[in-house]
Structure formats: C-alpha cells, structure tokens
Structure 1
C-alpha cells in the first residue's frame, strides 16, 4: 500500500516558517495588504464553489436520512460535546486558550473535497458524500458562530451581528452568486477546477501566514512551552480516533449501514474543514484577545492528521472491497 504525503500539508509548514522569519509582510496596509487579498480570495473560493455545486447529485443523496443525521450529529454535536466536557477543568488563561482552540476545531463543519475524494477511493456512497459535505459547509455558517458565541460573549469579545454579516458577505453571497451564474460559467469552472483548487489552497496559505505572523509579532507563542505543543498533538489524535470509533460503532452496530454508507459516514463525519476554519477564525477571532495562531494550530494539525489517517483507511476499504 502506497501513501503519498499531501503537498498542501508541506505548504502549511512552509507558510509558518516564512511567517516566523518574515512576519513584517503581514503589517503592509492599503489596497494590496494581505488582509484585503485574502478577503477577496475567500469570496472567490466560495463563488467557484457555487459554480461547481451539483444539485443533481445532492438530490440523489437526499433520501438516506439516517446517514445524514449521523454525519451532521457527529460534526456539530458529538465533536463539540467531547471538548465541552473538559471546560469545567480550566484554571488558567493558557488552559482557556488551549481549550478554546480545540472547541473551535470541534465546532467547524466537515471538509468538502477531501471527504468526497476519500469516499471515492474507498468506494463508498458518493451521492451521499457530496450531499453531506456540501450541506455541512452551509450549516456551519450558522452553527459554528452559535457554538463559539456561547463562550466568547462571556468576555464581550463576540459580536453576532458583525460575525454573521461578514460570513454572509464572504461566503453565502458569493455561493449564491456562483449558483446563479452556474448555467453560464459552470462548465468553465469544472474545466479549470484543478487551477481553481490551487487558488483555493494559495488563499488558505496566505491566511495561515497572516495569522501566524501576527502571533509571532505579538509574541503569543512565548507564553507556551513545548508541553503545550505535545498536548495539542495528543489531543488531536485522541479526538480524531474517539470520533472515528463512535461513528464506526453507530454505523455498524446501531444503524447497520451497508459498507458504502459506513464509509461515507466515517469520512464525512470525522473530518473538519480547514477552508471554513481559516475563514471563520479570521472573522471570529480577528478582533479578540485570543492568539490567532494558537487558535489555528490544532486545526492545522488535525487537517494534516486526518489526511494521513483517512488515506490509509480509504485504501484499506478499497482493498477489502476488491477482495469481496
């Protein structure tokens, strides 16, 4: 079994290294500031997403309601509750920031492209995967800020009106515009989807650079030691496998799904979107006291880890299906 390391993960590491060596690029203001460039890039990401959205495949996947309930319950309820149980044990500001970064990760929607790719490799239920991953991102625009608002409003750091307006302008409006222009530009978007995907990743890398550059300039990471990073890695691994095993158990023992539906439930329900996370973090934490880089760190580790593990699992499912 061959495994190819994801080049985007390498790009994330390089973006952090550049942010550490040359953080001053994030201070540039004006029309060509990174903040303006990333805002435009984010809007384009979701505009092209609207152009490529397939309503036919979404409609095909609508009927399997038990699978949809499991996926979205895992994404928006199971994940946050698993992190929420540790909230009473917070004693210090560092512990609070650590917990908040994991809660933010847990409140995010599922990823779109990689979930569908993994389901395809493992030979799962593709229409259901496309339906759930597409709907998850839209649901996240409403649900993620609600989860975060429960705790950020305590410190008067959260403005629902500002957050929802920003999310509407940067995500919902471009998606709607893309859907409206789909009859005209839809074929073009699919034809050049590889290049559009590269632009998506470049935008995320710029957001990662900016967030970590700001954190390095403000010396946010000086407040933590090596054990903080060990705890992040450990927490990410434990969280992923706990969710994975619960979804696997529910799929096989409670709902008794077919193998194809089990595959879709596992890959769509256990993953988190770095694309949405980068946008949400920029909007939700952009004006708070919480270190942007610290918030981002568990999400980046989770993204890399979920690609690594999901690739191995997908190939194992595919090999088993070939035998069967």
Structure 2
C-alpha cells in the first residue's frame, strides 16, 4: 500500500504540469494556431514565478506566496505568448518557425536577466509549499491518504483548470467560436465572428496556462531554477496529440506520461532492487512517446485549419 501511495503522489507531481500545459496548447490549436512555443512559455513563466518566490517567500505565508507566484507566472507566459500571436496572426509568419524562435530565445533571456540581477544564472528558493495534511479531508480513509496528504495546492488547481477548460470549450459561446475558428475560419468570419480576436484569445490563454505549468513543474521537483523545464513543453505537445485535442482524453494521456516520468525517476522502492541501469528509466517516457504517437497519429483529430494563416479577404 505504501508503494502504491508513493507512486501515485509522485505521478501527480509530473501529471499536473503536463495537464495544464497541454490544455494551454489545446486552446491555441483549437483556435487554429500551432503553439510549438509551449516550452519557451513554460520557461519564462517559471522564471518570473520563481524570481518572485526567491525575493518574497521569507516575508509571506507560503501558500499565498505560491498563489501570487502562479499568477505572475501566468501573466509572464501570456506576455511571451503575445509575440507568437503577433507573428502568427498579424504577420502571418510560419507558426512552427515562430514557436521555435521563441523556444530558443526564452532560456537565453532568462539566464541573461538572472545573471544581470544576481550574478548567477540559477535562481534558488526554499520549498515550503508542501501541505502535510489538509485538515478534516486528510483524515478520510484511503482518499485522504492519496489526495489530501503530502500534496500541493497546485494539484487541486490543475483539476480545477481541467474542469473549467471543458466547460469553456463545450458549454460556452466563446468555446464554440474558438473551435469554429480552428475548423473553418472563413465560415466563422462570414457568421460575424472576429477570427483574429478569437485566435489572439486562444494563444494568450495558451501562454497563461503554459506559464503556470512551468512554475508548477519546478516547485515540487527542485529548489532552484536554471532556465530549463526538461523538455516538458514538447512532451505536453505529445500529450495533446495523444489526447486527440479533447480535455478529458488529454487528462488520461497526461496521467500516462506522468506515470512514465515517475518510472523514469527510478526512485521506486520495488525498482531499486532490480539493478537496471538508471539511463533505461530515463529514456522510458520518450520511447513511450514515440510508440504512442506512431499508433495514434494516423487517427488524428487535429483542427482542420490549425497552422493556416487567416486572410479575411480570401474566400
């Protein structure tokens, strides 16, 4: 039982950021904009959030500090996503090239700023955000052990974002317009929908969630930030594709890849005794990614107009 509990709690640390970032990519791609820049948005968001924690955590309640840092990370990711939106929507640039350029720029920018401010590229912080036990809920048999002990407030935030994403996409007028702009933007335009505005909204929401995901990835797994999120932005794209651009499917895919990353950590008691080389576990999530994409890409349910620049005067 203890091994299962440990495995579940560790999986949540990898699952939640993957889920949030993949949902961010979902909003962008459902609007018709391919967002390869998720990795860069994660880095910028994590950098802004960790920088705030570094300077203010000693003078604030840990949970309040983390919530403010999450908001700052989201806003930083949104601002960074604005560059991708301008290039992709206004300038009609190749969206893959734009995203790749931002991914290259993000770590260099964060390292430059960190060295400029504190003469070192690593931004250190203390992890004081773990919740040992949620009052009352943590005493519930089994459920309390799994969900409300040794956890982070970010776990509950991730589930909330999942539910809200589903509601927004499938139960609101905005969600319907967003999906229509990713499928048939010319038809949406003829119906009076401002395709440019909707695509801007999808891209900026994507940046907001990616920024949050970057911070949420760093906080439970490290005590310093070095402008690196271990390729999680690209792994989130794989989760998005595996989840067929649908929120609940994405959640299942994110949990699967989160489990694979937990296995890759090789910290599981029952695996430590097998004497299998550590590098085998580290490549496991990426091999799983290739296998999964090989079997699912043929049945892709990607929005039909994703990656295609919209020209209002063209029919």
Question: Shared fold (TM-score greater than 0.5)?
Answer: no
Q: More helix per residue: 1 or 2? A: 1
Q: Structure 1 length normalisation: TM-score?
A: 0.26
TM score, norm. by length of structure 2:
0.27
